Chain A
Amino acid sequence: MAQRGGAVVERAVKTKLSLRGVNMVFRRDGNEVNVLENIALDAREGEFVCILGPSGCGKSTLLNIVGGFIKATSGQVLIDDEPVAGPDPRRIFVFQERGVFPWLTVEGNIDFGLHKLDKAERQRSIRHYIKLVGLEGFEKAYPQELSGGMKQRLEVARALAVNPDMLFLDEPFGALDSITRLTMRGELLRIWEAEKKTILFVTHDIEESVQLADRVVVMSARPATIRRHVVIDIPHPRDISSPRYLELRDSIFEEIGLAHTV
C-alpha cells in the first residue's frame, strides 16, 4: 500500500473482499444480456481500488453486486470471508450527489445512520464528520442550498459517520465540473488516509483512476471481463506530470486501445 511521502511498502494485509467466477446475466423481454463474465477480484484491507471501464460496461452492476443490492447470477462474493447477503451498514455505498436525503438538513443526513448511538455520541460524531469534509457553518442547511460538490461531501460524511469497513463509490464526481472534481479527489484521499477504509471506486476516467488508486482494475466493454490489474506504485501526493505517472497512465490508454493524440 502506498504511503504519503515515503517508500512503497507491501504489507501482508488480510484480504477484505474476494470475488470468484462472478457472472451476471440480465433477462429482459425474453432476451438474455451477458453483463459480467467470470469476474475474479480481490481487495486488501485499507486498499484503494479503482474499477475502470467505459460507460455501460457493467462496472456499476459489479459494484451493486458487491454492495449486496443485486444478486449475481453465479459466482462467489465474500467480504471478511462471509458471503454477501444484502446491503449492510459495514459497507456504505456513495452514489452521485442525488443520494443525500433532501428532506433532512446536513446534520440530519449525517445523523441518519446513527440511531444506535446515544445523544452525546451522535452530536460528537456529527461535529467530527462535518469538520472532516469541510462543511462547517452549513449544519442547518438543506441539500438544495448546497452546491454539487458540497452535496457530494455531505454524502461522504454520512457514509463515514457509521464507521463502515468499506466504501463503494459509483462515479461520485461524475456530476461535478472538472475543477471541483480535482479538489474532491484530493479531499477523498485526505479522508481515506485519515480513516483508513477499504475503498472500491468505479470510474470511466483514466486520469482519475491513476490519481487515486493503489490498483486499477481495467475492465473491457460488455460483456465485461477484467483485462488487467495495474498497480499504481507512486506514493501520495502524486505529481500528475511525473514520468512514472504518465507511464502508468499511458499503459492503461494502450490497454484500452486508445491513441495518445486527439
Chain B
Amino acid sequence: MENLRFWVKVRGVLLPISSVAVLIGAWQIAIAMNSDSLVPGPWAVLLGIVELAQKGLLVKYVVASLFRVTWGFLGAAVLAIPFGLMLGWYRRSELAINPLIQILRPISPLAWIPISILWFGVGDLAAVYLIFLASFLPLTVTAMNAVRNVSAVHLNAGRNFGLSQRQLILKVLYPAAMPQLIVGLRITLGISWLVVVAAEMIAVNSGLGFLIIDARNAGNRYDLVIGGMVMIGLIGLILDMLMRSLEKLKFLKWSYVS
C-alpha cells in the first residue's frame, strides 16, 4: 500500500514536470529553426536569470514586487473583510452601498494609474495603492457573499445559546464564513499579483514588472524580458500553493468536502 501511494505521488510530480519539459523542448527547437528571431531560447533565458542573480538584482526585484503586493493586499484584506461582512449582515447597509460597489467594480485598477501617480507620485506608494484598489472590492464582495452562505441553522443555534449580536458575529459568523473568505483571498491574491506587474511597468523603478519594460527599453534584452515573465509565473504559483495549503487546515477543510 505504501508503495502504491509513493508511485501515485511520483506520478503527480512527474506528469506536470514532463509536460513543462516537452514545452521547453519545443520552444528550443522553434528557436533553433528561426535563428534570426529576437526571441531567445530557454537556455539564453536561463543565462539571463543567472546574470540578474549575480548582479544581486534578481532578489532585489522579487522582494520589491512582493513587498508591494503584501502591503496593498493585506491593507485591503484588513479593511475589506470586516466591511464586507458588515454589509452582508445588515441588509440595509448592503442595499445602500451595493450600487456604488457595482459601479466601481468594472473599472480596471489600471485605469487608476494616472490618478494614483497624481496623488502619490511615481514610487512605491502609488503601486501599493493600486494593489489595494485591485483587492478591496473583490474582497468586499467575497465577504458579502460569504455571509449569505452561512447556514441559518448555525446562526439560530448561536442565538439559542444566548449569544449577543457581537458574540454571534465573532463566534459563529466569522468561523462559518472563513473557508469562503480564504478562497476569495487566494483568488484576489492572484489578481494582486497580476496588477503589481502592470503597475510596476508604469509607476516605479524596481520590481519584476519594471524589469520587463526596462530590459526591452534599455537594449532589447528579450532574454531578461522572458526571464522576468518566468519569475513572475513561478512566484505566482508559489503564492497560490501557499494559500491552498491554508485551505487544508482542519478547522477550514469542512467546507470543501462534497
Contact = CB atoms under 8 A, between A and B. Distances in A.
B161 A162 contact: yes
B253 to A, nearest CB: 7
A interface SS class: loop
Interface string A27-70: 00000000000000000000000000000000000000001010
Contacts of A112: 161, 171
Contacts of B176: 101, 103
Contacts of A101: 154, 157, 172, 175-176
Interface stretch (A87-95, A181-189, A201-209, A230-238): A87-95
Interface residues of A, number: 22
A93 B157 contact: yes
Interface in A114-150: 142-144
A183 to B, nearest CB: 24
14 contacts: A69-B159, A87-B156, A87-B159, A87-B162, A89-B160, A92-B160, A93-B157, A99-B153, A101-B175, A103-B252, A112-B161, A112-B171, A113-B162, A144-B253
B9 interface: no
Residue of A69, A95, A101, A113 ringed by the most chain B CB atoms within 10 A? A101
B154 to A, nearest CB: 6
Interface in B30-45: none
Contact of A69 (B156, B162, B171, B250): B156
A99 B255 CA distance: 14
Contacts, number: 54
Nearest to B157: A99
A69 B153 CA distance: 11
B158 to A, nearest CB: 8
A174 interface: no
B255 A102 contact: yes
A221 interface: no
A104 B250 CA distance: 9
A95 B175 contact: no
A140 B231 CA distance: 42
A143 B254 CA distance: 8
B156 A103 contact: no
B151 interface: yes
B interface SS class: helix
Contacts of A69: 156, 159
Contact of B162 (A88, A95, A104, A144): A88
Nearest to B252: A103
B110 interface: no
A87 B157 CA distance: 9
B257 A144 contact: yes
Contacts of B157: 93, 95, 99, 101
B151 A89 contact: no
B101 to A, nearest CB: 28
A253 to B, nearest CB: 32
B90 interface: no
Given A104-B251, A144-B254, A99 B154 contact: yes
A176 to B, nearest CB: 17
A21 interface: no
